[in-house]
Amino acid sequence: GNSVTQMEGPVTLSEEAFLTINCTYTATGYPSLFWYVQYPGEGLQLLLKATKADDKGSNKGFEATYRKETTSFHLEKGSVQVSDSAVYFCAFPLGGATNKLIFGTGTLLAVQP
């Protein structure tokens, strides 16, 4: 069935370190792919997305490339900041008549000064 697998956290990094959070998916066809971010005490918000294979989504220094061959959408950032501390969710829509989203379990990122 449809599913998303994310690397388990927490991920603890020092400021300015390189970040990778792995995400792989199992789906029928080639769905749009999303990364959502949840800052402490807040709801989720869209970080970036890619709508087709080989697309690269980017926002706030984060990037993710839609890799059809490996069914992956790994999130990367070259230099993290303390303000990036949050929970990151990979997701894709089931499609059909509505945009029901399938979420990964989330990866907690803690950035230390």
Provide, rounded to whole angstroms, the least separation between the CB of residue 23 and other proteins: 12
d(C-alpha 77, C-alpha 81), whole Å: 10
Provide, rounded to whole angstroms, the least separation between the CB of residue 5 and other proteins: 11
Q: Are 74 and 92 contacting, i.e. CB atoms less than 8 angstroms apart? A: no
Task: Output 13 or 87, the one with its CB closest to other proteins.
Answer: 87
Tell me the residue type at 39: Y
Contact string (CB under 8 A) for other proteins, positions 2-31, x = contact: --x--------------------------x
- Does residue 43 touch other proteins according to CB under 8 A? yes
Contact string (CB under 8 A) for other proteins, positions 74-113, x = contact: ---------------x---x-x-xxxxx-xxxx-------
Distance of CA 14 to the CA centre of its chain: 20
Contacts of 106 (CB under 8 A, 6+ apart): 6, 9, 38, 87, 88, 89
Q: Are strands 11-14 and 107-112 parallel, antiparallel or unpaired?
A: parallel
Residue ranges that bind other proteins, judged by CB under 8 A: 4, 31-32, 41-46, 49, 51, 89, 93, 95, 97-101, 103-106
